[in-house]
Structure 1
Amino acid sequence: MKAAELRSKSVDDLKGELTELLRAQFSLRMQVSTQQLAKVDQIGKVRRDIARVRTVLAEKAKQA
């Protein structure tokens, strides 16, 4: 997901997206701990997406 896509979303949508990403991150961590995850690089992608969403939320809070 791109930062430009996130900037076009509302704050409520971004918070929902953040919740989904945090749940996905937890799920991936559990899969790693039980050795069920084949593609370990997914964890990094989710972490970067979480950072992007949090950055856009901070930008929107600063503007308001």
Structure 2
Amino acid sequence: MVSHVHGDSLYGHWTEYEFHNYHNEPDYFLRCVVTWAPDGVTLTEPTGHKLFIPKNAFIGGR
């Protein structure tokens, strides 16, 4: 998984993350929700699992 801004994967944060049960549901990623907040980004899976990436991890102090 990579979180990045402006479509530039060199300007972002790489994280190895295992999604839950996505193999069995073709629309799994369409049902995920991404929420941007001042302190970072949260990805919420349909299962309720959440991945939080702090803002400073993907902007690198820029």
TM-score normalised to structure 2 length: 0.27
Greater fraction of residues in helix? 1
The structure with the largest alpha-carbon Rg is 1
Higher relative contact order (CA 8 A, sep 6+): 1
